[in-house]
Amino acid sequence: MNIKPIKTKKDYKQALERLEVIFDASPKSKEGDEAEIISMLIENYENIHFPIDAPDPIVAIKIRMEEMNLKQKDLI
């Protein structure tokens, strides 16, 4: 197990590739522990470099209405 912080795009890509290899490992194995740690490092990197902003509330409501096939009068 060679775990290090993810600081660059190259580190990020390597971490994703390693996680793909060990993803289905038993949670009680060394590889399972490694997968858990790597996934936390990946999540941290993604939160910093690829943040997802909260949607505009009006847009979110409109999207949900469309998904549910609702019209404005249905909300009354």
CA distance from start to end of the chain: 58
Summarize the confidence of residues 12-36 as an average pLDDT. Answer: 95
Is pLDDT at 76 greater than 90 in this prediction?
no
Task: Parse the chain into domains and list their residue ranges.
Answer: 9-75
pLDDT digits (tens, 9 = 90+) for 30-59: 999 999 999 999 999 999 999 999 889 999
pLDDT at 1: 72
> What does the block give as tokens for 53?
């902003």
In this structure, the dihedral spanned by the alpha carbons of residues 33, 37, 40 and 44, taken in order and rounded to 10 degrees, is 180
| Residue 75 confidence (pLDDT) above 90 | no
- Cα–Cα distances in angstroms (integers) from residue 2 to residues 17, 25, 45, 47, in the given order: 14, 16, 18, 22
